Amino acid sequence: MNLKALVSVTGKPGLFKLIGQNKGGFILETLDDQKKKSVVNLATNKMATLEDITIYGFDEELRLIDILERIKEKGTAPDAKSDGKTLREFFREVAPGHDEERVYSSDIKKIINWYSIIKELPLFDEETPIPTTDDSTSGDDTAAESAT
């Protein structure tokens, strides 16, 4: 699951794809068919990539990406408009060890909504890219110097 470019913005419903940056802020695009673009200024809004979001846990924080993977493996998720008891039971299965006092029903609804948005995207089935090291470029510099 490659969620690197997907972000959540406080005060804005849904998820967005980060497509660039300009002097006014970050350029985001909606994930729906309309592909509306907007600029988000970090001085007035908070923005987080889905890859960086964590959920409160008892022993340690749980990564959102791991929870989404478990939902994907499970195959089905309840409707986000289900009652709180149904949502909590489901979340216990996909996020064992979450802190039930600090993870609210509204948080669970938001995660299920996000899952329903991203499950249709091609990047949902992509592997997370592995960061490359700079070692490969250091050899190129040496070759360029010896050629001169």
Rounding to the nearest 10 degrees, give the CA dihedral for residues 100, 102, 103, 107.
160
User: Quick one: 98 exposed, middle or buried, by C-beta within 10 A (0-12, 13-18, 19+)?
Assistant: buried
Number of separate domains in the chain? 2
Dihedrals phi, psi of 32, to nearest 5 degrees: -85, -175
Using CA atoms, how far apart are residues 18 and 50, in angstroms rounded to an integer? 11
Residue 142: pLDDT band (50, 70, 90) is: very low
Q: Give the DSSP letter of residue 54.
A: E
Residue 38: pLDDT band (50, 70, 90) is: confident
Residue 123's pLDDT is 64
38 and 12 part of one domain: yes
CATH code: domain of residue 64 = 1.10.10.1650
- Taking only the tens place, the pLDDT of each residue in 66-84 is 999 999 998 888 988 989 8
Dihedrals phi, psi of 46, to nearest 5 degrees: -105, 140
Contact call for residues 111 and 72 (beta carbons, < 8 A): no
112 and 57 part of one domain: yes
CATH code: domain of residue 29 = 2.30.30.730
16 and 35 part of one domain: yes
Classify 72 as helix, strand or coil: helix
**pTM > 0.85:** no
Question: Containing domain of residue 35, as a range?
Answer: 1-52
59 and 113 part of one domain: yes
116 and 72 part of one domain: yes
